[in-house]
Amino acid sequence: MRSEPGSVRLTRRAVMTAAGAAAAAALLRWPPAFGAEGEAMEAVVKNGRIRQSVSKWCFGSIALPEFARVCRQMGLVGIDLLGPADFATLKEFGLVCTMTNSHSLTDGLNRKENHPQCLQTLREAIEATAAAGFPNVAAFSGNRGPGIDDEQGAKNCIEALKQIASFAEEKNVTICMELLNSKRDHKGYMCDRTEWGVQVCKAVGSPRVKLLYDIYHMQIQEGDVIATLKENAEYIGHIHTGGVPGRSNLDETQELFYPAIMQALLDMKYTGYVAHEFIPRGEPLAALAQAVKLCDV
């Protein structure tokens, strides 16, 4: 690639390093108690075209009220994978629960014997999420095992989701089945390929049943992230981020270039949320701010 005289060539490393430096510098000006009440800081988010949130479990050492305050200051719109007990705290800080927890990840919808418990949990989560005015509830296929192949597992997931889809439609809540890699992190998990998940969504046939596309997991399992997202845009209801390899910071040590992925989401008119779900390396809030800055295209 050739640059014009006097121009600066923006490499992948340069973009990520600049984003990290800007975010870290902003954090150095923050009050030490993660943003003391009454002391507002300049937001990390400037463009806001991507609606960003973050999974709380990755930042477990920070109490939720403190974490919610700093997320609000950064310009995030919500926090991911919480439950009804946390909703009041989020509302206090003007945030959304962008994805509500529900049933077991391993004992999921791909086995009929799990349906009563999973569907009850989903119904309760949808009810609480709708009452709070929040958008999404997570669902999981469950793991492969004896007597259950991918074809039968898909049929069972379809059967279960058809039973709950009309309730989700009535409540204006989207059920998002999460795509996870079975190669490294979730051995045996059935919904480990976008094609399989899309087939389930198509068969259910509800605008309120979609996929949670985890970029970290799908980069490991199948790659081809941008093309896959664009080809299946209709069925993508939520996005998770994470650095590959290692599920850590979105920086120059990982193989994905997140600004390009975020631009692809804008190009495909994606209007859902992008939730950061990575294990921070170094100062946790600096790592989060770096990720937020990088994805604010």
Per-residue pLDDT of the chain (297 residues; tens, 9 = 90+): 323 223 333 333 444 444 444 444 444 344 333 344 445 567 999 999 999 999 999 999 899 999 999 999 999 999 999 999 999 999 999 999 999 999 999 999 999 999 999 999 999 999 999 999 999 999 999 999 998 999 999 999 999 999 999 999 999 999 999 999 999 999 999 999 999 999 999 999 999 999 999 999 999 999 999 999 999 999 999 999 999 999 999 999 999 999 999 999 999 999 999 999 999 999 999 999 999 999 999
Neighbours of 171 (CB within 10 A): 17
CATH architecture observed for domain 22-31+42-295: Alpha-Beta Barrel (3.20)
Largest CA distance in the chain: 67
Q: What is the DSSP string of 202-246?
A: HHHT-TTEEEEEEHHHHHHHT--HHHHHHHTGGGEEEEEE--TTT
Three-class DSSP category at 81 = strand
Distance in angstroms (rounded) separating the CA atoms of residues 208 and 204: 10
HSE-CB of 174 using CA atoms within 13 angstroms: 23
* Strand duo 174-178 + 136-139: pairing: parallel
Distance set, CA 228 to CA 66, 212, 220, 224, 277 (Å): 37, 13, 13, 6, 20
Three-class DSSP category at 10 = coil
Q: Model confidence over 241-255: pLDDT tens digits? A: 999 999 999 999 999
Distance in angstroms (rounded) separating the CA atoms of residues 51 and 263: 13
DSSP-assigned beta bridge partners for residue 139: 177
First to last CA, the chain: 22
